[in-house]
Amino acid sequence: MVTSADILVVDDKPDNLRLLSSILTNEGFKVRKVLNGQLAIDAARIHPPDLILLDIMMPQPDGYQVCQDLKANPCTADIPIIFLSALDTVADKVKAFTAGGVDFISKPFQQEEVLARVKTHLQIRQLTKALQEQNQRLQAEIQQRRQVEAELSQALHELQATQEQIIVKEKLASLGALTAGIAHELRNPLNFVMNYAESSVELAAEALDELTAATSPLAESAPAPAIELPYSEPERLATLQEILSDLRDNATAIHQHGQRAERIIRMMMQHTRTEPCERKPTNLNELVAEALDLTYHSKRAQDSDFNVTIQTDYDPAVGMISVSASDLGRALINLIENAYYALQEKYHQSPVGFTPTLLIQTRRHPETVEIRIRDNGIGIPPEIQTKIFDPFFTTKAADGTGLGLSITYDVIVGQHQGTLKVTSQPQVFTEFLIGLPA
Ligand SMILES: Nc1ncnc2c1ncn2[C@@H]1O[C@H](COP(=O)(O)OP(=O)(O)OP(=O)(O)O)[C@@H](O)[C@H]1O
Ligand SMILES: [Mg+2]
């Protein structure tokens, strides 16, 4: 291999050229002879040799200039150049190496020395080339493996997404038609119960007011009662008062339970809704802000002592996203209501030094949009973290249906092909992270 190499010999003295050529040809090398610098540059560019033997002292361009020119061109930069010169001070040699030469042979030269140096540099070049090639092969292999890995991970992702969707569908199927039927059947009679119960509460309260007025010490100075009372004895009036008071309590209970049942049915119907959700471009930050507003005011209306520090951090880059606004809004409300509940619970347990805080954050990523809902409430014990998305799972004895998160999961993962993740540390925080395809 080394001995069949192509060597370019450059010298402006024909005698030198002939001598060098014969030494190298005798060793089996292929030799090209060139008489000046410019021809050397052209010859090397047209057909790059494996090595160049280059005289320094030549008319313009001289050996240094030829060398610099070849090193500046990527096609010829790698060719090893050995300088040949009668100049042999240290300064000359340094100049030759600085110009890019790999070696320096002083004239007059010894045949053995020339051959030894030429062979050494051809060998180094050959090994370097082999190393470079191997390196390139390895790089290509690494690249290929990376690609295979990326494809595998993509396939895994798709499989997981499909599995998640199958689970959602199975869940829907298991609740199924029966739930839808029951919900429909129950809704009408329940409406009656609610209406009657509501008016019973009002009537009982009215009657009770009348009786209270009639039996209170101030009754004499008060205007005559509006109804004729059939009772004359105070004890009988007192008994009646007790009965009416019980009636009012009963009716209140009917009303409360009715409301709860109605809520269960409403949520079950959301669960089994069969019509496809209609998506429209929606300003996501506005949707989140609306859900926050709505929940906060309804909470304040129920309980005027309710107080939570709300931190919002909306990323303006989130922009418009194609979603079913009513369903996603419902999902957000469920998550925020859960957070409020967790904050209130913790506040009731230990109010001292505790600032109930809710953080709502939106973020735009290249492929997804993220909504973070974080509270510093009671947290979720690890052993129930896997159950919270199950329908009817609740820790809120009388207050919860346990359908909130199950619906939320269906809306985000099932309808919108998004992700819903929870992280929590008991007594420290709970964080729900929604990811939606952008
Ligand atoms: N932010 C939170 N902090 C602590 N626990 C939570 C939080 N969110 C959910 N949980 C737990 O998950 C359970 C299930 O929540 P989900 O919203 O499905 O039902 P629920 O809130 O109990 O009932 P509903 O939504 O009908 O009011 C809750 O009972 C509670 O134990
Ligand atoms: Mg809930």
> Which atom, in ligand 1's list, is nearest to the CA of 403?
18
- Residue 414 sits at the vertex; the CA angle it makes with 367 and 298, to the nearest 5 degrees, is 95
Whether the pLDDT of residue 169 is over 80: the answer is no
Query: What letter does residue 47 receive in the DSSP assignment?
Result: S
d(CA 330, CA 288): 10
Residue nearest to atom 4 of ligand 1 (CA): 379
Q: Using one digit for the tens of pLDDT, what is the confidence trace for 41-65?
A: 999 999 999 999 999 989 889 999 9
Check residue 122 and give its pLDDT.
92
Q: Which of 377, 389, 392 is nearest to 424 (CA)?
A: 377
Residue 93, SS3 per DSSP? helix
Beta bridge partners, 436, equal 369
Task: With beta carbons less than 8 A apart as the criterion, state whether 197 and 189 touch.
Answer: no
Domains and CATH numbers, the chain: 2-109 (3.40.50.2300), 157-274 (no CATH), 276-438 (3.30.565.10)
Residue nearest to atom 12 of ligand 1 (CA): 388
Query: How many residues are listed for the chain in this entry?
Result: 438
pLDDT grade, residue 250 (50/70/90)? confident
Residues around ion ligand 2, judged by CB within 5 A, are 338, 404
437 CA distance to ligand 1 centroid (A)? 25
Check residue 197 and give its pLDDT.
84
394 CA distance to ligand 2 centroid (A)? 8
Check residue 25 and give its pLDDT.
93
Chain centre distance of CA 397: 35
Q: Which residues line ligand 1 (CB under 6 A)?
A: 334, 338-339, 342, 375, 377-380, 388, 393-396, 400-406, 430
Check residue 249 and give its pLDDT.
84
Backbone angles phi, psi at 423, to 5 degrees: -135, 145
68 CA distance to ligand 2 centroid (A)? 77
d(CA 241, CA 235): 10
161 CA distance to ligand 1 centroid (A)? 25
From the CA of 430, the nearest ligand is 1
Mutate which of 394, 407, 420 to test ligand 1's pocket (most atoms within 8 Å of Cβ)? 394
> Which atom, in ligand 1's list, is nearest to the CA of 407?
18
From the CA of 399, the nearest ligand is 1
d(CA 28, CA 4): 6
pLDDT grade, residue 395 (50/70/90)? very high
Bigger pLDDT: 378 vs 264: 378
Task: With beta carbons less than 8 A apart as the criterion, state whether 95 and 56 touch.
Answer: no
Q: Which of 61-75, 173-187, 364-378 has the lowest mean pLDDT?
A: 173-187
Whether the pLDDT of residue 259 is over 70: the answer is yes
- Tell me the mean pLDDT in the region 131-158: 93
Check residue 88 and give its pLDDT.
77
401 CA distance to ligand 2 centroid (A)? 8
Check residue 11 and give its pLDDT.
93
Check residue 265 and give its pLDDT.
77
Q: How many helices (H) and strands (E) does the chain have?
A: 9, 12
Residue 275, exposed/middle/buried by CB under 10 A (0-12, 13-18, 19+)?
A: exposed
428 CA distance to ligand 2 centroid (A)? 19
pLDDT grade, residue 324 (50/70/90)? very high
Q: Using one digit for the tens of pLDDT, what is the confidence trace for 71-115?
A: 999 999 999 999 998 887 888 888 889 999 999 998 888 999 999
Task: With beta carbons less than 8 A apart as the criterion, state whether 18 and 47 touch.
Answer: no
- Residue 252 sits at the vertex; the CA angle it makes with 194 and 267, to the nearest 5 degrees, is 50
Q: What is the dihedral of CA 89, 92, 98, 101, to 10 degrees?
A: -100
Whether the pLDDT of residue 221 is over 80: the answer is no
Mutate which of 335, 385, 396, 421 to test ligand 1's pocket (most atoms within 8 Å of Cβ)? 396
Whether the pLDDT of residue 290 is over 90: the answer is yes
Check residue 191 and give its pLDDT.
80
> Which atom, in ligand 1's list, is nearest to the CA of 405?
18
Check residue 218 and give its pLDDT.
54
Whether the pLDDT of residue 407 is over 70: the answer is yes
- Tell me the mean pLDDT in the region 210-221: 65
Residues 6+ apart with CB under 8 A from 304: none
396 CA distance to ligand 1 centroid (A)? 8
- Strand segments, DSSP code E, in 56-184 are 81-85, 103-106
342 CA distance to ligand 1 centroid (A)? 8
Residue nearest to atom 1 of ligand 1 (CA): 339
pLDDT grade, residue 271 (50/70/90)? low
Check residue 107 and give its pLDDT.
85
Q: Which of 285, 281, 332, 336 is nearest to 313 (CA)?
A: 285
Chain centre distance of CA 344: 31
> Which atom, in ligand 1's list, is nearest to the CA of 394?
29
Check residue 26 and give its pLDDT.
92
Residues 6+ apart with CB under 8 A from 311: 357, 358, 359, 360
Residues 6+ apart with CB under 8 A from 171: 391, 406, 410
Helix, strand, coil content of the chain in percent (nearest 5): 60, 15, 25
